[in-house]
Amino acid sequence: MRGKTAVITGASAGIGEELAVALAERGAQLVLAARSEELLARVKQRCEQAGGQALVVPTDVGDPEACRRLVARAVEAFGGIDYLVNNAGLTMRGLFEDVTDLSLFERLMRVNYLGSVYCTHEALPHVKARRGMLVAISSLTGKNGVPGRTGYSASKHAMQGFFDSLRIELRGTGVDVLVVSPGFVATDIRVRALGPDGTPGKSDIPEETHGMMSVRTCADIILRAMERREREVVMMPAAKLIMALKAFVPGVLDSFAARTMKKMKQVRL
Report the greatest alpha carbon distance in the chain.
Answer: 56
Instruction: Give 80: exposed, middle or buried? Use CB within 10 Å, 0-12, 13-18, 19+.
Output: middle
Amino acid (1-letter code) at residue 237: P
Instruction: Compute the radius of gyration of the chain from its Cα atoms.
Output: 18
Instruction: Give the domain ranges of the chain.
Output: 5-236
> Does residue 34 surpass a pLDDT of 90?
yes
Q: Tell me the pLDDT tens digit for each residue of 200-254.
A: 875 545 555 556 778 899 999 999 999 999 999 988 665 565 666 555 666 655 6
Across the range 120-131, mean pLDDT stands at 98
- Which residue type is seen at 115? G
Quote the CA–CA distance of 240 and 217 in Å, as a whole number.
18
Q: Pick the catalytic residue: 83, 113, 118, 152?
A: 152
* pTM assigned to the model: 0.86
How far apart are the C-alpha atoms of 148 and 204, rounded to whole Å? 10
pLDDT at 186: 63
Give me the count of residues in the chain.
269
Q: For the segment 255-267, what is each residue's pLDDT rounded down to a tens digit?
A: 655 665 555 444 4
Q: How far apart are CA 5 and CA 73, in angstroms?
A: 12
**Architecture of the domain spanning 5-236:** 3-Layer(aba) Sandwich (3.40)
Does the annotation mark 152 as catalytic?
yes
CB 14 within 8 A of CB 85: no
Strand order in the sheet with 83-86: 53-58, 29-34, 5-9, 83-86, 133-137, 176-181, 232-234
Q: Is 9 helix (H, G, I), strand (E, B) or coil?
A: strand
Q: What is the Cα–Cα distance from 128 to 131, expressed in whole angstroms? A: 5
Is the model's pLDDT at 131 over the cut of 90?
Answer: yes
Kindly report, residue by residue over 135-150, the tens digit of the pLDDT.
999 998 888 888 889 9
pLDDT score for 171: 96
- Residue 63: C-alpha distances to residues 15, 20, 166 (Å): 22, 23, 21
Average pLDDT for the chain = 87
Dihedrals φ, ψ of 54, to 5°?
-145, 140
pLDDT of the residue at 267: 40
**Is the model more confident about 178 or about 245?**
178
* β-bridge mates for residue 31, sequence order: 7, 55
Strands 176-181 and 83-86: unpaired
Single-letter amino acid, residue 32: L
The arithmetic mean of pLDDT across residues 88-92, rounded, is: 91
